[in-house]
Amino acid sequence: MNNKTGSPNLGAVVSIRGSVVDVRFEASLPPIYTLLRTGLNGEIAIEVLAQLDAHRVRGIALTPTQGLARGMRVTDTGGPLQAPVGSDILGRMFDVFGTPIDHQPPPSAVEWRSVHCAPPALLRRSTQSEIFETGIKAIDVLVPLERGGKAGLFGGAGVGKTVLLTEMIHNMVGHHDGVSIFCGIGERCREGEELYRDMQQAGVLPGMVMLFGQMNEPPGSRFRVGHAALTMAEYFRDDEHRDVLLLIDNIFRFIQAGSEVSGLMGQMPSRLGYQPTMSTELAELEERIANTDNGAITSIQAVYVPADDFTDPAAVHAFSHLSASIVLSRKRASEGLYPAIDPLQSSSKMATPGIIGMRHYLLAQEIRRTLAQYAELKDIIAMLGLEQLSPEDRSIVGRARRLEHFLTQPFFTTEQFSGMAGKLVSLEDALDGCERILRDEFKDYPESALYMIGCIDEAQTRLPQSASTLAPVPVASAVEVEPHES
């Protein structure tokens, strides 16, 4: 901010406590969210979060504060944190400041916009519901996603959230005439580097933008990278009128970064140590993801669930914003049923006859009912054995087990680990397969013939093989590659 004489508004560092920096200004006080620069070459960035009195502000550093000392000069940049937008950012990888981290020169023809924007007005939002096909059987049949909606991938550590997310990028970027933006919040540096190379090899990088606020970066940086990604997504939706697929891995890390910032700022923690402003902060981010008259931002978000506890406040608040919840089950992962989607816990607001059609709706209900009955019978089977069930119950168990095996699918992103070629399955083929299993067309087929196939007709090609080659052993490949969530 410049004063009336045109000279920069300068201040001085008063105190430093980790990432929290207090700065004194004599001329004029910078507004909230203003970006301040300090350090020998202005390399330390501070975002103003509180005005303490007429001359002092408190901010959170978005960069490491090594080398910062009391009395150092601080320059008011006169505006908030900004992100680059424009068609030149496609195929590139950035940090929270819009600085390229892919060892290439900065994009030339870009415009810089504030990361703090209001959600689109209600009048501009589209009220039409459309389905967004993913090519993954279990999702398209049981948990249909909404174009312009928000879907959550819930699961603990190591059940396959990142693998499922990268598979969706692979499937959708190749078959979707839009832009894909991947936002990594508080994830491992290795994952970002691997994802960049995978997207490069798959040939989908020219239609993607990647942003990372890594695990080793300060909480302020991790907290703002989601806003920067949304600013880019809004440009493609509102200015270029294109559909955008926004993938966030991991939204829990956004809440966690906000909790760290809140604690550093001295706010009183709320339930389970979370920040008292958690619901507001999450809503500010989520409400910007919307379907408007210009285009749609469809978001798929991985949500790490601490200790697999779905009553955790972070999971509960994330649930309230979603149009679909895909819950990953550790038990199914241990049985080798990948993707490890729990069909009874997962749900979608799109699964109504008016949106997906009566045939799809009734079929999905029948699949859930069959799987629910099987879940109830499991205790009896464990204690007394399958032979003690009535013939009707035995046929339900057979159908349910064949459905479970048919809803597994080999992924393109795990080919190198599993040796199985990835499969993309249309919704019609997936529905046809489930319908034929429920009609008992495959009751004489071994369950293993339906394991890790694409369309149902592939089961016939598996029959001549010996049972040993078809046994559904757990595939280590499809588990999320990193065994522990930090």
User: Among 128, 385, 61, which Cα is nearest to 377's?
Assistant: 385
Distances (CA, A) of 206 to 88, 148, 196: 10, 22, 11
- What pLDDT does residue 148 have? 86
Strands of 347-348's sheet in order across? 92-94, 208-213, 178-185, 243-249, 297-304, 150-155, 324-327, 347-348
Nearest to 21 by CA among 69, 54, 53: 69
464: exposed, middle or buried (Cβ count in 10 Å: 0-12, 13-18, 19+)? exposed
Contacts of 194 (CB under 8 A, 6+ apart): none
State yes or no: cis peptide before 339, omega within 30 of 0: yes
Q: Which two tokens stand for residue 362?
A: 């009734």
d(CA 28, CA 409) in angstroms, rounded, equals: 61
Q: Cβ of 166: how many Cβ atoms within 10 Å? A: 24
The contacts of residue 202 (CB under 8 Å, 6+ apart) are 170, 173, 174, 412
Confidence (pLDDT) at 482:
42
Give residue 392's pLDDT. Answer: 93
Residue 464: its pLDDT value, please? Answer: 60
User: 244: helix, coil or strand?
Assistant: strand
Which residues are the active-site residues? 161, 187-188
| pLDDT tens track, the chain, 486 positions | 455 556 789 999 999 998 999 999 998 999 999 999 999 889 999 999 999 999 999 999 999 999 999 999 999 999 999 999 999 999 999 999 999 999 999 998 899 999 999 999 998 888 888 888 889 999 999 999 998 899 998 888 888 887 888 888 777 766 666 788 999 999 888 888 888 887 787 777 888 899 999 999 999 999 999 999 999 999 999 999 988 999 998 899 999 999 999 998 988 888 888 999 999 999 999 999 988 888 889 999 988 888 888 889 998 999 889 999 999 999 999 999 999 999 999 999 999 999 999 999 999 999 999 999 999 999 889 998 888 899 999 999 999 999 999 999 999 888 878 889 999 999 999 999 999 999 999 999 999 999 999 999 999 888 765 444 444 444 433 334 343 443
* Predicted TM-score (pTM) of this structure: 0.83
The tokens for 58 are 């408190």
Give the distance, in angstroms, between the CA of residue 416 and the centroid of all CA atoms in the same chain.
23
Place of tokens 């330390």: 44
Q: Are 346 and 143 in contact (CB under 8 A)?
A: yes
**The residue type at 25:** F
